[in-house]
Amino acid sequence: MTFNDIFKSNFLENVTGVSIFDTLTALILAFCLGLFIFFVYKKTFSGVMYSSSFAVTLVALTMITTLVILAVTSNVVLSLGMVGALSIVRFRTAIKEPLDIAFLFWSIAVGIVLAAGLIPLAVIGSLFIGIFLLLFVNRKPHTNPYIIVIDCTDHESELKALAYLKEQVKRVVVKSKTARKGAIELNLDIRLKDDNTDFINTLSEMDGINSAVLVSYNGDYMG
């Protein structure tokens, strides 16, 4: 084997498998669409704690997926090896919000489509998905849901509290009820008629009512 034979390897032949222009174009487009996904995620986030690292990960994931798919499409043998290499990767980070899964798949899908050369599909598809999320994720109901937690002493005071609430609000739904000796706790889902919440003060001063707490929530309740 001569010195020249050493450099006549498949590794060096693959250097020109993907042109520099194609690589830069795909990565720049991936970066731009990744920023768009980042913007939509920031605008539609409705969780408790906003994670800036997850938002940046969406941009990076779009570019990384594009890079991987570019390599796969340039060499059939490499694509088979890539499947085996990626099969050992395990992601341990827990997804806190269900909507985060959609953003992860969106980033991966954009990277795959861009690397496949389907640029119009990636751009138009991202615009449609972004507009859909901006319109529906932040859509607020006409009446904000509230939860009332009432601590009363007996069944009679419970009935009086429910009858009073039915006169003051649009809707009252019992979500949970906890009964103990000498105490009853009610969790009620209500819809207000207007922004006036003075009725909660009157409710708390009724005979047999120890306390009444009004809490606004996002409409998702487990109980």
Domain ranges of the chain: 3-136, 145-216
What pLDDT does 198 receive? 84
- What is the CB neighbour count within 10 angstroms for residue 12? 10
Instruction: For strands 183-191 and 145-152, give the pairing.
Output: antiparallel
What pLDDT does 220 receive? 52
- What is the CB neighbour count within 10 angstroms for residue 126? 23
What pLDDT does 4 receive? 52
Per residue in 75-86, pLDDT (tens digit) is 655 555 555 555
What pLDDT does 1 receive? 47
Intervals of the chain under pLDDT 50: 1, 3, 5-8, 11, 221-223
Nearest by Cα to 66 from 100, 98, 93, 32: 32
What pLDDT does 221 receive? 47
What pLDDT does 35 receive? 92
Q: Residue 167 and residue 123: Cα distance in Å, rounded?
A: 53
Per residue in 138-159, pLDDT (tens digit) is 665 556 788 889 888 888 888 8
What pLDDT does 75 receive? 62
What pLDDT does 33 receive? 92
Q: What is the pTM of this model?
A: 0.60
What pLDDT does 85 receive? 53
CATH architecture entry for 145-216: 2-Layer Sandwich (3.30)
Question: What letters, b where the CB count within 10 A reaches 16 and e where it falls short, cover 62-91?
Answer: bbbbbbbbbbbbbbeebeeeeeeeeeeeee
What pLDDT does 31 receive? 92
DSSP-derived secondary structure letter, 140: P
What pLDDT does 90 receive? 59
What pLDDT does 223 receive? 43
